[in-house]
Amino acid sequence: MFKRIPSVFWIVLLWWTAYALIFAIQVVWMGEQQGRPISWQEALQFSFGGWMTWVPLSLALYWLVKRHPIERGRSLRSISILMASALAVVLLRAAYVYLTNPVFAWYGDQPLPGFGSVLTTAFINGFMLAWLVIGIAHAMVFYQRSHERGQKVAELETSLTRTQLEALRAQLNPHFLFNALNSVAEMVHRDAELADRMLVSLAALLRDSLSPEQDQLRPLREELALVEHYLMIEKIRLSERLQVVWDIRPDCLEVPIPALILQPLVENAIVHGIARRRSPGILRVRGRFRDDRLSLEVENSIASGNTIASGTGIGLQSTRSRLQLLYGDHACLVLERTEAGDHLVRLDIPATSAARSYASVSRESAE
């Protein structure tokens, strides 16, 4: 039940309660200093009886400010409304003091003056205080607007990023799937049994790529399973010309990485490196931690005379773009030549950030 009460109510209530307590303490202290002791009961009754009336008045002023804030385009109208509201607060305070004087004895032992005198005193004591409340209400309203605007901007940025990521994946999926289909088509006329095995792996690739519930991030273990299906197709096509060496540390398998981030690197290594060789070539896939970063490496033998790929293909472009969208400058893709003359692509992902992103994406999917 209390969750339904707006937070501004609790803020106003706590503020005036604290103010009334402090005022009661001052009343007791001043009474002792002047030689006219005042009991705590009298001080609390006098203080709370006066200041707690500001709770409904403050809430009313906040409500008016929320609907008629002083801002560009309607400042004159808003000032007029709030000015009338401040005067109404003064009038209500004066009526309250006038009517409750028999209970609280606002004027002590002195007789209650006429209503005009009470109204004048209420104006002196309450008009500027009402405007102070109006000013604080403006600060709260504008802060709330800024917070809501920030949330909307964050939601729009998240939506835009998700849309861009999906566009990149939509661009990448046909790229390697069509290559896989071409490989199967080449094998059908040479070895029907091997072609059947290739189709099984291709079906697994299609099922994974076309799944509508696939997240942007998934454990490295699942990404490697997809790469194994692709390599099975290429292994049949290239036979002994392709030798695969896996070097993945077990503690890396559950680290979340972007879906389809490793497969295009493996594909480039085969298409632009090993497939152009006449002799057998080696493809090495490594995964290990470097400090707080997950490092994935794809190393391949190259044909004589080949240079390092320029990195302008669809696969590498999409990989770089996705890394930038997901991790900003905290991830990198490096292309280099090893001492042995092989081509190496290294992908570094901040493991801690990846884990946080994975948890966030999983939570959004569950919702």
pLDDT digits (tens, 9 = 90+) for 146-183: 888 888 777 656 655 665 555 555 554 565 667 667 77
Residue 172's pLDDT is: 45
Query: If pLDDT is split at 50, 70 and 90, which confidence band does 284 have?
Result: very high
Which domain, by its residues, includes 75? 2-151
Query: If pLDDT is split at 50, 70 and 90, which confidence band does 195 have?
Result: confident
Please indicate, yes or no, whether residues 147 and 194 belong to a single structural domain of this protein: no
Please indicate, yes or no, whether residues 124 and 10 belong to a single structural domain of this protein: yes
Instruction: Report yes or no on 69 lying in a domain.
Output: yes
Please indicate, yes or no, whether residues 361 and 218 belong to a single structural domain of this protein: yes
pTM over 0.85: no
CATH number at residue 219: 3.30.565.10
Instruction: Report yes or no on 169 lying in a domain.
Output: no
Please indicate, yes or no, whether residues 209 and 268 belong to a single structural domain of this protein: yes
Q: Residue 286's beta-bridge partner residues?
A: 247, 297
Among 304, 310, 334, 309, which residue's Cα sits nearest to residue 320? 334
Residue 224's pLDDT is: 92
For 342, the 3-state DSSP assignment is coil
- How many structural domains does the chain have? 2
Mean pLDDT confidence for 258-274: 84
Instruction: Report yes or no on 162 lying in a domain.
Output: no
Least confident of 19-23, 105-109, 196-200, 265-269: 105-109
User: Mean pLDDT of all residues in the chain?
Assistant: 80
Please indicate, yes or no, whether residues 134 and 30 belong to a single structural domain of this protein: yes
Please indicate, yes or no, whether residues 11 and 83 belong to a single structural domain of this protein: yes
Instruction: Report yes or no on 175 lying in a domain.
Output: no
Please indicate, yes or no, whether residues 197 and 83 belong to a single structural domain of this protein: no
Buried b (16+ CB within 10 A) or exposed e, 29-54: eeeeeeeeebeeebbbebbbbbbebb
Dihedral sign computed on CA atoms, order 17, 18, 19, 25: positive
Please indicate, yes or no, whether residues 221 and 348 belong to a single structural domain of this protein: yes
Please indicate, yes or no, whether residues 207 and 147 belong to a single structural domain of this protein: no
Q: Which of 136, 151, 166 is the last residue of a domain?
A: 151
Residue 366's pLDDT is: 42
Instruction: Report yes or no on 129 lying in a domain.
Output: yes
Tell me how far apart the alpha carbons of residues 50 and 144 are, in angstroms, rounded to a whole number.
30
Q: How many C-beta neighbours within 10 Å does residue 77 have?
A: 11
Tell me how far apart the alpha carbons of residues 341 and 305 are, in angstroms, rounded to a whole number.
11
Q: Percentage of residues in the chain with pLDDT exceeding 90? A: 22
Residue 18's pLDDT is: 92
The pLDDT of residue 256 is above 80: yes
Answer for the pair 335, 352: CB distance below 8 angstroms, yes or no.
no
Tens of pLDDT, residue by residue over 125-153, are: 899 999 999 999 999 888 888 888 888 77
Mean pLDDT confidence for 349-366: 53
Query: If pLDDT is split at 50, 70 and 90, which confidence band does 262 have?
Result: confident
Mean pLDDT confidence for 79-103: 90
Query: If pLDDT is split at 50, 70 and 90, which confidence band does 72 have?
Result: confident
Residue 311's pLDDT is: 44
Please indicate, yes or no, whether residues 100 and 243 belong to a single structural domain of this protein: no
Answer for the pair 200, 187: CB distance below 8 angstroms, yes or no.
no
Q: How many C-beta neighbours within 10 Å does residue 75 have?
A: 11
Residue 352's pLDDT is: 64
Please indicate, yes or no, whether residues 245 and 130 belong to a single structural domain of this protein: no
Q: Which of 130, 151, 172 is the last residue of a domain?
A: 151
Residue 317's pLDDT is: 74
Mean pLDDT confidence for 296-322: 71
Please indicate, yes or no, whether residues 132 and 33 belong to a single structural domain of this protein: yes
Q: Which of 151, 176, 205 is the last residue of a domain?
A: 151
Instruction: Report yes or no on 172 lying in a domain.
Output: no
Distance of CA 324 to the CA centre of its chain: 16
The pLDDT of residue 272 is above 80: yes
Least confident of 84-88, 120-124, 314-318, 353-357: 353-357
Residue 307's pLDDT is: 54
Residue 166's pLDDT is: 57
Please tell me what DSSP assigns to residue 258: E
Tell me how far apart the alpha carbons of residues 178 and 184 are, in angstroms, rounded to a whole number.
10
Q: Percentage of residues in the chain with pLDDT exceeding 70? A: 82
Instruction: Report yes or no on 173 lying in a domain.
Output: no
Mean pLDDT confidence for 225-236: 84
Mean pLDDT confidence for 95-117: 85
Among 18, 89, 99, which residue's Cα sits nearest to residue 52? 18
Q: Residue 285's beta-bridge partner residues?
A: 246, 298
Tell me how far apart the alpha carbons of residues 223 and 288 are, in angstroms, rounded to a whole number.
15
Element housing 343 (H / E): strand 343-350
Please tell me what DSSP assigns to residue 257: E
Instruction: Report yes or no on 277 lying in a domain.
Output: yes
- Higher per-residue pLDDT: 111 or 191: 111
Least confident of 39-48, 109-118, 349-358: 349-358
